[in-house]
Chain A
Amino acid sequence: MEAPAPLRKSLALVFCDIVGSTRLIARMGDLVASAVFRQFIEHADRLGRQHHSLMIKFSGDAFLAAFENMNDVMPFVISIEGLLSPHSPLERLEGFRFSLHYGNVLYIETSYGNDILGEDVNVAAHLSEIAHPNELVISQAALARMPADYQFHAGASEVHPFKRVGDVEFRRVKLLDENPFFRLARGFQRT
């Protein structure tokens, strides 16, 4: 049977990276660390399905998740961050780095499952590299599609140049309870 034709889709792209994974391996040994990473993958996969992600793809200590509905993104990010809370499965981890971008990508079926292709995927990946621990870096393209309350509470605008894409405007959001942005997202999660 022939694979379905690739589809162009505008999607919210979430990247998440484990902070200090090399340190974790050095501190606890590779057996314990790989068990922790396995748990991370299982929980992220479960939470992705719970929050209606279109696809989720794992690469080492990171994942890329795509969402059709922007409203599903922040509850998903918060649920992932919640894996770090005391007595939770991944409390041994130092933290996560997140990025969120919105872009037009090619959604395809491949021999290894569904995947998304396009320059916006690279932008989302590179944005996660400039995020600090337990911080979400949101591109302006993504923020503009979020409710106005979120836009109001995001950090100051910054710009970073990316190869082949040029300057990308973004904001930083600390994933802390006292941050109004984070509280808004938590409120949204409860409703």
Chain B
Amino acid sequence: MATSAPEPMLEIVTEAIVVIDLVESTLTSNLFGWYAVGRQSLRDLRALIGEVGQIRGLRCVRSTGDGYLLTFYDPQSAEMAAIRAVEAVFELLGLISVRNREVSEERALNLRCAVHLGEVDVIPNDREGPHISMAFRLEEISRASLPAALNPIPPEQFPLQNYVLCSEEVAGILSRRAAHWELVSIGLLKLKGFPGWREVFRITSEEHPTDLGGRMRAL
């Protein structure tokens, strides 16, 4: 009887997970063409991600169609991976802000970013597991999500683009280990597929003032 080869052991690691979504990328591609604008925008974004991530433990860059799934790893400390990931995202927003001033309007990049930390299954050039789903759920949160949240900030104060959201896990790490980040609870939300209520935070930085949405009210 033939025996099937044993499945290789999956590597399971704790990584900071970042989901970056290019705002209105489909609309831009439809209006101005994928080959003329869309493709170059994604390539530019990928190049900038490489620039900010390489020195901060960027381990995985996976296209999601209109954005990227990134993971950051620190062999010494999982918490530091989360801090490096947030640093990378804010540096990316800074570079994009500079780039947007130099390119035509249709080539401008605007992002929605979400950061989470958790155990993931390492697949070559990809990651799997519920924490990956959680990061995508965070990224999906928008102004329209807030009326259903508990203790929400006013929807008008939630920016439309160029902002960073994070989970309670990442917020806890930042408040303990990186005082220069300001955290604002945007409310308690129910995230599809996850039980219970999750508090979601927006991260702002005085060093990287990329906020286009005005000041937020702290609850």
B188 interface residue (CB < 8 Å to A): yes
The answer to whether B152 and A122 have CB atoms under 8 Å apart is no
The answer to whether A122 and B151 have CB atoms under 8 Å apart is yes
Q: How far is the CB of B96 from chain A (nearest CB, A)?
A: 29
Collect the chain A residues with CB atoms within 8 Å of residue B150's CB. 59, 64, 121-122, 125
Query: Within the assembled complex, what's the spacing in Å between the Cα atoms of A129 and B150?
Result: 14
The answer to whether A59 and B152 have CB atoms under 8 Å apart is no
A4 interface residue (CB < 8 Å to B): no
B6 interface residue (CB < 8 Å to A): no
Given A126-B197, A129-B196, A129-B197, A117-B190 contact (CB < 8 Å): no
Collect the chain A residues with CB atoms within 8 Å of residue B146's CB. 112
B214 interface residue (CB < 8 Å to A): no
A157 interface residue (CB < 8 Å to B): no
Given A60-B190, A62-B190, A122-B188, A112-B147 contact (CB < 8 Å): yes
The answer to whether A111 and B149 have CB atoms under 8 Å apart is no
> Main secondary structure on chain B at its contact with chain A?
loop
Size of interface on B: residues with Cβ below 8 Å to A: 20
> Could you mark each residue 120-146 of chain A with 1 if its beta carbon is under 8 Å from any beta carbon of chain B, else 0?
011001100100000000000000000
The answer, among B148, B189, B195, for a CB contact under 8 Å with A57, is B148
Query: Within the assembled complex, what's the spacing in Å between the Cα atoms of A112 and B153?
Result: 12
Collect the chain A residues with CB atoms within 8 Å of residue B195's CB. 129
Collect the chain A residues with CB atoms within 8 Å of residue B149's CB. 59
Q: How far is the CB of A110 from chain B (nearest CB, A)?
A: 6
Collect the chain B residues with CB atoms within 8 Å of residue A22's CB. 193
Collect the chain A residues with CB atoms within 8 Å of residue B199's CB. 122
Query: Within the assembled complex, what's the spacing in Å between the Cα atoms of A118 and B193?
Result: 26
The answer to whether B155 and A112 have CB atoms under 8 Å apart is yes
> Could you mark each residue 180-197 of chain B with 1 if its beta carbon is under 8 Å from any beta carbon of chain A, else 0?
000000001110110111
A58 interface residue (CB < 8 Å to B): yes
Query: Within the assembled complex, what's the spacing in Å between the Cα atoms of A110 and B148?
Result: 12
The answer to whether A59 and B193 have CB atoms under 8 Å apart is no
Collect the chain A residues with CB atoms within 8 Å of residue B196's CB. 126, 129
B51 interface residue (CB < 8 Å to A): no
Chain A: which residue is nearest B192 at the CB level? Answer: A60
Collect the chain A residues with CB atoms within 8 Å of residue B151's CB. 117-118, 121-122
B219 interface residue (CB < 8 Å to A): yes
Chain A: which residue is nearest B156 at the CB level? Answer: A111
Collect the chain A residues with CB atoms within 8 Å of residue B213's CB. none
Chain A: which residue is nearest B197 at the CB level? Answer: A125
- Provide 23 A-B residue pairs closer than 8 Å at the C-beta atoms, listed in order of the A residue: A22-B193, A57-B147, A58-B148, A60-B192, A61-B190, A64-B150, A110-B147, A110-B154, A110-B155, A111-B154, A111-B155, A112-B146, A112-B147, A113-B147, A115-B147, A121-B151, A122-B150, A122-B151, A122-B188, A125-B150, A126-B196, A129-B195, A129-B197
Q: Which residues of B contact A (CB under 8 A)?
A: 146-152, 154-156, 188-190, 192-193, 195-197, 199, 219
Q: Which residues of A contact B (CB under 8 A)?
A: 22, 57-62, 64, 110-113, 115, 117-118, 121-122, 125-126, 129
Extra contacts, 19 of them, besides A57-B147, A62-B190, A112-B147 (Cβ < 8 A), are A22-B193, A58-B148, A59-B148, A59-B150, A59-B189, A60-B190, A64-B150, A111-B156, A112-B146, A115-B147, A115-B152, A117-B151, A121-B150, A121-B151, A122-B150, A122-B151, A125-B197, A126-B197, A129-B197
6 smallest beta-carbon distances between A and B, as pairs: A112-B147, A59-B148, A60-B190, A129-B196, A125-B197, A121-B150
